[in-house]
Chain A
Amino acid sequence: MAETFLDSTELVLNMGPQHPSTHGVLRVIVKLDGEKVTGTECVIGYLHRGVEKIAENRTYAMFAPYVDRMDYVAAVSNGLGYCLAVERLISCEVPERAQAVRVILTELNRIASHLVWLGTHALDIGALTPLFYCLREREDILNIFEKYCGARLTTHAFRIGGLQYETYEGFEQECLEFCDRLAPRVDEYEELLTENRIWKERLIDVGILNAEDCKAYGVTGPMLRSAGVKWDLRKAQPYSGYEKYDFEIPTRTNGDCYDRYIVRVQEMRQSARIVRQGVGMLAAGPIMGKVAKVLKPPMGEAYVSIEAPKGELGYYIVSDASTQPYRVRVRPPSFINLQSVDKMARGSLVADLIAVIGTIDIVLGEVDR
């Protein structure tokens, strides 16, 4: 309670759902004491489209385009997770060539997703320039997607059992050229941001989430790795042939916003490395496994999780031996990472709350599904 007229009383403020720095339709109810955040509550559901319910009324193949619309910044990863889950249900072997193309495209998508994150997060903090540079590089990736599968954002690149499209002429060349271009460009971003004193002031020791809290909240992805836990599903439970690739898992120890930034930038470099290896592994061969025209998986259930750019993305599918899934449950990384906002933001300033929401890297399409 206020004792003198100088002491402030508590103020409850709505941030969002259309606030420009909240990355979409996230509404955060913030309890403020002056400029200090004493509590937050996230209100979600403004972008709820009932994707999981839609799945119950579609056949397995029909549902694949819908998963792209959850995390639309990393649509390829979503498609991969869903395809892997259905493939486990029907125990289908994916040909090696298809696996390599899948890895290349998902890693390119990881770079694209991190680029969007870096640009928008820098914009939140007040650095306008990186956004334009990041989108410039992302454009190259989207062009590769467009040439490969005919769409830029909601790609629908993979099909259950393999791939629908063969790689286009010059695909390998373009991927390699992009990787060559990316490295100096990432150096540019680092030049702009890593040593910048404003950037450091705004991010270092802001929104600390240590390893124990990360595990308690179920936080995954770069957030977990920035707290020093070396956990990456590509290494821990390799899927789609990731065990053949040589790459490192970048980790940091502090678990603050700055470390999350460093981890994501390092991941971009590692992804470019994987793309290079993936292009080397492209051998001639079939691209589609043996899949029945009318897909009727045996009764049972399957859970497959992959390392999406934002964290562990899981698909849990229950089959009742009909053409349509009985239940599809998605474990979206953004949704689970979002719950740690309160822990990180409590006691900090409003401006830090923006930085915290930015470094979680949420996509509201995925949070609300």
Chain B
Amino acid sequence: MKKFLRKILLADLLEGLWVTLRTQHPKNITTEQYPAVMPKVGERYRGLPRLNTNPENGETLCICCDLCALACPEHLIVVGWERNPETKRKDLVKFTYDTSRCMFCGLCEDACPVDALELTQDFQMASFTREGQIFDREVLEEGTKPTRYKS
């Protein structure tokens, strides 16, 4: 009898509907207002690569050891260097990072012995061309400069 009544009164469907109604409160809305409010990503987020410079004199920290290029599964990092005849050390002349093929696995970051190459929390790296996705040393040191739109 109880089962029959439950069936007639659509108890099973109403119970489900009650769950839906419970979550209708406006405080449950979680839409992210993306360009207006930037989402907060984790501290370890693997995003835009950055080539760190020495904050005191602006020189690059990179020692041209080529370990990041060797660690990269997609071989997308190219390190170009020249031997400086005076100091007998390697000078960084070229550093390109092809983000169009990058899968942000973080292996290059782990390989870097001097913390020069780092994957940062920045995630805005879209560009209009394929060539624009290949970041050179300048972009890697200073970061991309995305256009900010104001409403």
Seen from chain A, the residues whose Cβ lies within 8 Å of a Cβ on chain B are: 58, 61-66, 69, 129, 133, 136, 143, 146-151, 154, 156, 164-165, 168, 188, 191-193, 195-198
Contact = CB atoms under 8 A, between A and B. Distances in A.
B119 interface: yes
A196 B46 contact: no
B46 A150 contact: yes
B34 to A, nearest CB: 15
Given A65-B105, A65-B107, A66-B73, A149 B44 contact: yes
Contacts of B16: 129, 191-193, 196
A146 B73 contact: no
Interface in B81-99: none
Given A191-B19, A197-B13, A61 B107 contact: yes
Contacts of A133: 23
A62 B71 CA distance: 7
A151 B47 CA distance: 9
Interface string B17-36: 01110010000001000000
29 contacts: A61-B107, A62-B72, A62-B107, A65-B73, A65-B107, A133-B23, A136-B30, A146-B42, A146-B44, A147-B42, A147-B44, A148-B44, A150-B44, A150-B45, A150-B119, A151-B45, A151-B104, A156-B106, A164-B106, A164-B110, A168-B43, A191-B15, A191-B18, A191-B19, A193-B16, A195-B15, A196-B13, A196-B16, A197-B12
Interface of B: 7, 12-13, 15-16, 18-20, 23, 30, 41-46, 71-73, 103-107, 110, 119
Contacts of A136: 30
Contacts of B23: 133
Contacts of A196: 12-13, 16
Contacts of A195: 12, 15
A190 B73 CA distance: 44
Q: What are the nearest 9 A-B pairs in CB distance?
A: A65-B105, A150-B44, A62-B73, A146-B42, A150-B46, A147-B42, A192-B16, A195-B12, A156-B105
A323 to B, nearest CB: 11
B117 to A, nearest CB: 15
A47 B75 CA distance: 23
B103 A150 contact: no
B15 A165 contact: no
B44 A154 contact: no
Given A129-B19, A192-B20, 17 more contacts: A58-B73, A61-B71, A65-B105, A129-B16, A143-B42, A146-B41, A149-B44, A150-B45, A150-B46, A156-B106, A191-B16, A192-B19, A195-B12, A195-B15, A197-B7, A197-B13, A198-B13
Contacts of A63: 73
Contacts of A61: 71, 107
A185 B138 CA distance: 49
Nearest to A61: B107
A154 B106 CA distance: 11
A196 B18 CA distance: 13
A146 B44 CA distance: 7
A150 B107 contact: no
A147 B43 contact: yes
Contacts of A165: 44
Contacts of B43: 147, 168
A164 B71 CA distance: 15
B42 A65 contact: no
B71 A188 contact: no
A150 B106 contact: yes
A188 B43 CA distance: 33
Contacts of A188: 19
B84 to A, nearest CB: 28
A230 B135 CA distance: 53
A312 B28 CA distance: 37
Contacts of B18: 191
A346 B71 CA distance: 50
B123 to A, nearest CB: 11
Contacts of B105: 64-65, 156
Nearest to A197: B12
Contacts of A143: 42
A66 B107 CA distance: 12
